[in-house]
Amino acid sequence: NDSLRWYGALKGSFALARVKEQTILLRAESRAQYKHGRNVWLLLLNADFLNAGGRDFSNAAFAHLRYNYKLFKPLSMEVYTQQQTNKLLLIRNRTLFGTGLRQRFFLQYASNSRLYLGSAWLYEQNYFTENYGIKHWHRWSNYITLTVRKPKTGIVLQGTTYWQPTFADFRNYRFSTEW
């Protein structure tokens, strides 16, 4: 939100069911953003746990801190760090930090709909739960974010897609999208 200095959101859910076996679902998500002048701070926190019949189907947590400085009107510099754990992906701990540039394009000024393109270097270090040891890579992080707003209705469609190959081998990449 461009008109407020502080913006935040909290979401959570919990479910407990028992048919033949017990199922537990726990989800938590938070977002805090502070804007002032040319500076933007963003903090994202997520946790997801699903256990059914004594088996984990999801066991993950994520923390992301990002600082954005507007160099001039459409171009910003970003610096970020992240911590992640995901038992099902065999990640005991994934730590990364990076920096890069972000370009904003307005698709429609009246509705504040926009497109962002970002490109950055990031360093990633993974501690795996199995005998894979510790792996670290330098990645080229690229993303596209689309925000489409429908004026007077409050409807917002927003999504981000990432492609992050290693500099040493483009066949080793991460690809993800959130809508």
86-106 residue pLDDT tens = 998 899 999 999 999 999 998
Average confidence score pLDDT of the chain: 94
Q: Rounded to two decimals, what is the model's pTM?
A: 0.88
Phi and psi (nearest 5°) for 53?
60, 30
Confidence tier at 3 by pLDDT (50, 70, 90): low
CA distance 10 to 29: 6
CA distance 139 to 143: 13
CA distance 47 to 56: 14
Q: Flag whether pLDDT at 1 surpasses 90.
A: no
Q: Which residues contact 80 (CB under 8 A, 6 or more apart)?
A: 64, 65, 66, 67, 97, 98, 99, 120, 122
* Residue whose structure tokens are 């992240």: 82
For 133: left if phi > 0, alpha if psi spans -120 to 50, otherwise beta; the answer is: left
36-75 residue pLDDT tens = 999 999 999 999 999 999 999 999 999 999 999 999 989 9
